Amino acid sequence: MKLGHKDSQGLFLEMGKRLGYSPKKTYSEDLPTDGIWTIPHPLNLMDSLPVAAIEVAVSESPKTLRGSIRTLEDVSPLLAIILVHEGEITRRHIVKGGTLDSALKKISAIHNLLEREVLMSQQRFEIWTEHTLSRWYSIVHNRTTLRSEAK
């Protein structure tokens, strides 16, 4: 697992914990996500209900990206997030001899592919970057810190 991938997973899990969900690194062995937040099932018909699940994309392979979409659809959380880790994708591309310009074109192609694919899905998706995650993490962190200080 790449460092950026692991960091993103950690932020997502910490954010879920601060919001009061039960965060886990993955949904199941058969449906491996990069993070999930759950709540108890109100009727105890199953262990828990998936609230939000995330897949961190550090590969530009269309096959891998579509696999991430299918996994999230099968988990069927209230909110499915695909995080395009632009920093890791750029780093990988440049290490392989690419240029910054060609890395940015790849990232744009990834976003375009994902936007097309999620439009055809019945699942509610959001496409994030590591910057989106950081912004949401800061909001949640500040809000929960203020709430605990007020007690």
- The confidence band for 143, taking pLDDT boundaries of 50, 70 and 90, is confident
Distances (CA, A) of 30 to 26, 39, 71, 75, 138: 10, 20, 9, 10, 32
* Angle, helix 130-150 to helix 86-95, in steps of 10 degrees: 140
Q: Could you tell me what percent of the chain has a pLDDT over 90?
A: 80
pTM of the predicted model, to two decimals? 0.89
Checking if the pLDDT of 35 tops 60, the result is yes
What is the distance between the alpha carbons of residues 52 and 84, in angstroms, rounded to a whole number?
A: 16
- The pLDDT value given to residue 5: 84
- The confidence band for 113, taking pLDDT boundaries of 50, 70 and 90, is very high
| End-to-end CA separation in angstroms for the chain | 39
